[in-house]
Structure 1
Amino acid sequence: MSLKPFKSIGIGVAYSPNLKANIFEAARLCVFFGSKLFLIHVGEKSEDKIAMLKVILKSFEKDNLEYEVVFKTGKPVDVILSTTEEKKIDLLILGAVQRERFLKYYVGSIARKITRQAKCSVLLLIKPSVERLPCEHIVVNGLKDPKTEQTIKVAFYVAKKLKSEKITIVEEIKQDQISVKVDDDKSLRRANIIKERIRLRENSRINEIISHIPDAYTKNKTIKLQPIFGKKGYSIGHYAQISRADLLVMNAPIKMTFWDRLFPHDIEHILTELPTDVLILQ
């Protein structure tokens, strides 16, 4: 298990009302993970901009935060994506946008394009804060996929570093796995037996993954396994919302194609309406 999945963290810095909160969130994560921070600004370099960033980051001098400011002109999506590759950034932080008059968040067009195309992991923040808000409950996908074991391991790493007490691993199971039409008590019992067998099988698979994680990461954690029958992406997003999770950790899709956008991929359900902060792992 890689003890340091995020050696470098990048964030786009635009001079907006959320600038200080975004930088504080990114800098705090760099301190927790022992990462170098890259501040990416789309535009010309200027001493005034550098001075402003220095003032904001002064609070982190005591933590020996290592950072670099990157200035680059061009289209925001191209600049951020090319910089993440050039600087070998492991985790890119992006802010989400609140819908007007509703307490719901979604990924704006620029952030959505970056999320779909980024070759590194992406953290989507819905409410960046200057003051640290504790991350107490992490929900992570447990779907059967080659990437899932590493995703669960990184979720435990993040939980340890952020001092999160609870991790819920959600196994999303397609409804069509229960190939029984329920129209009487007998068929209902049969469907319930099939559901229970699937639940036991999935829990066994997840427990096997957890058994490979060092005790230092699982110790003193409340670990819950939660099978859910429903639509991938939508089900886990809904669960993260109703369980008041502070962070949702997901696998990145293997490939995003035109058809994935036309017929929503599981991650697209999450991007449409963010239930909480979302970490998408490559």
Structure 2
Amino acid sequence: MAAIKPFKSIGIGVAFSPNMKANLYEAARLSLFFNSKLYLIHVGDHDEKKLNELRDILSFFEPGGIDYEVVFKAGDPVNVILSSANSKKIDLLILGAVQREGFFKYYVGSIARKITRQAKCSVLLLIKPSVQRVPSEHIVVNGLKDPKTEQAITAAFYVAKKLQANKITIVEEINKEQVGVTIEDDRSLRRSRIMKERVRLREDSRIKEIISHIPSEYTKDMSIKLQPIFGKRGYSIGHYAQVSRADLLVMNGPTKMTFWDRLFPHDIEYILTELPTDVLILQ
């Protein structure tokens, strides 16, 4: 298989807020790790003072050979960022998530949520950007049976290698209906356990086949864990990423979002409601 390079260009919305420097440092580091061009998108007219401020911040990364471009465009923030991502052919859009005051949970702000739902490119949601790099150690990725899953797992290994993370957990979210046994007594309990083990072995075999297609340069020296979870899709993997203290959760992007998807949350909507860690949503 040819070398993998899913993120040739990275974009980040730039607001001149207290978190701006931390967000820019995170984006710049990823740009260098992935050898990608970085686009800084500011909602507003061209401003020389702001441009110089951005240049001053990114001067720290110039010795590393960072390649970046600043985009000024007035208009609605969601439309500006989405249209800029399309026109610049951005592969990965970085968005800062919002921490709700007084709670130990993270939530996506309204603008970031709208962009995440509508973006045609992959989206990285950051909950705790830092000027000083915090090394990544553990990445969790979904392993559900879906046409996009092989791409998600492959991208997770690529990201892990570039960020020098040493552990990947592939979570196989399994619907309880797949077991097909109602527990009423000891006999049905045993049958349920047997069925769960059969499903687990089948899912493990499917995931191992996917891993075998990934170039060895990305899987070598990586601690790989297969983790079956019988529960609600989206919620289960989010909870696992949180309790296992994962540094990044990688998920398939939604195929289609409708009014009913938002009324009755599932998969990505569970993740967007309560971010367990930084989340990479792949398109």
2:244 is equivalent to residue 243 of structure 1: yes
**Where does residue 62 of structure 1 map in the other structure?**
63
Counting aligned pairs with the same residue, the percent is: 75
Give the Å deviation of 1:259.
Answer: 1.3
The aligned amino acid for 2:22 is A
The aligned amino acid for 1:11 is I
Alignment of 1:100-179 (within 5 A): 100-179=101-180
**Where does residue 229 of structure 2 map in the other structure?**
228
**Where does residue 72 of structure 1 map in the other structure?**
73
The aligned amino acid for 1:160 is K
2:86 is equivalent to residue 85 of structure 1: yes
Deviations 1:127-186 (A, max 9, x none): 000000011000000000000001100100001000000000000001111211111110
Deviations 1:64-108 (A, max 9, x none): 100000000000000000000000000000011111111211101
How far apart in 2 are the matches of 1:33 and 1:151? 16
How far apart in 2 are the matches of 1:4 and 1:212? 15
Give the Å deviation of 1:265.
Answer: 2.6
Q: Give the 4+ runs in structure 1 shifted more than 2 A.
A: none
**Where does residue 20 of structure 1 map in the other structure?**
21
The 3-state SS of whatever aligns with 2:280 is strand
Alignment of 1:198-217 (within 5 A): 198-217=199-218
- Verify the 8 A CA contact 2:38 2:69 in the aligned structure 1: yes
How far apart in 1 are the matches of 2:111 and 2:182? 44
* TM-score, length-scaled by structure 2: 0.99
Q: Give the total of aligned pairs.
A: 282
Structure 2 alignment gaps of length 5 or more: none
How far apart in 2 are the matches of 1:179 and 1:199? 14
Structure 1 alignment gaps of length 5 or more: none
Give the Å deviation of 1:2.
Answer: 5.2
How far apart in 2 are the matches of 1:181 and 1:91? 44
RMSD: 0.7
The aligned amino acid for 1:64 is G
How far apart in 2 are the matches of 1:108 and 1:201? 39
How far apart in 2 are the matches of 1:204 and 1:84? 38
**Where does residue 45 of structure 2 map in the other structure?**
44
- Verify the 8 A CA contact 2:174 2:228 in the aligned structure 1: yes
